[in-house]
Amino acid sequence: MIKLVLASKNEKKLVELRNILTRLGVEVIGESEAGVDVLVEETGATFEENAALKARAVMEASGLPAIADDSGLMVDALAGAPGVYSARYGGEALDDTGRYRLLLETMRGQTDRRCKFVSAICCAFPNGDVITARGECAGTLAYAPRGEGGFGYDPIFFVPGLKKTFSELTPEEKDQISHRGNALREMKLKLESYLDGIDK
């Protein structure tokens, strides 16, 4: 089984990534287990660039293949914002609740509530090879938070087909449709054919 160092400081995202990857048969170890602690400035203009920056930095520090996710929420009526700035929306002082409250306030009176979560996943290998996958999940912005689970913008991300917010889904239900789940399923296929190629 391939072993990857998971490059993430976000505890809840780390749990999600680890769960999905384990279910997909990929073994992951945390940065601390790999003996590294890498702080990466997310200076990229796209999710893909930021995921590659993070994966490369951890691969270089650990000498092992590394996997990283960069993700965020894009709101149509805000021209795709907060996008790559989702984790920093409203400044460093806000927490998850402060950020989604600010977004609800910004969207007050706006009837076009369409939005999507995007996740870019990148695997970086010590030989310089890089594999990237992208997943999306479309939804609408709720008018008020609902549910207890998940993290980040989950309480206000409404999935019309299920009539529930991401926070009202079980972890398994969320993984089945989420941007991160979709990106990781694509990544698994890409990894399998990449490793197949290496074996031959």
Q: Which residues are catalytic?
A: 70
Task: Pull the structure tokens for residue 154.
Answer: 């989950």
Binding segment (CB under 6 A) for ligand IMP, from list 22-30, 33-41, 145-153, 187-195: 145-153
HSE toward the beta carbon, residue 177, CA cutoff 13 A: 17
62: number of Cβ within 10 Å? 19
52-111 binders of ligand IMP (CB under 6 A): 70-73, 86-87
**Please, which residue, 136 or 195, has the CB nearer to ligand IMP?**
136
CA distance 191 to 123: 9
Selected binder of ligand IMP within 48, 53, 67, 153 (CB under 6 A):
153
**Please, which residue, 87 or 192, has the CB nearer to ligand IMP?**
87
**Please, which residue, 34 or 40, has the CB nearer to ligand IMP?**
40
| Distance between start and end Cα atoms, the chain | 16
Per the DSSP assignment, residues forming a β-bridge with 119 are: 71, 135
Task: Pull the structure tokens for residue 10.
Answer: 């976000």
Closest distance between ligand IMP and the C-beta of residue 43, in Å?
A: 12
Closest distance between ligand IMP and the C-beta of residue 119, in Å?
A: 6
E strand residue ranges, 25-129 = 27-30, 66-75, 114-124
The answer to the question of residue 19 lying near ligand IMP (CB under 6 A) is no
Helices 11-23/179-199 angle, 10° precision: 50
The answer to the question of residue 182 lying near ligand IMP (CB under 6 A) is no
The answer to the question of residue 135 lying near ligand IMP (CB under 6 A) is no
**Binding string, 158-177, against ligand IMP, x = CB under 6 A?**
--------x-----------
CA distance 9 to 31: 9
Q: Rule CB under 6 A: which residues touch ligand IMP? A: 10, 42, 70-73, 86-87, 117, 150-154, 166, 178, 180
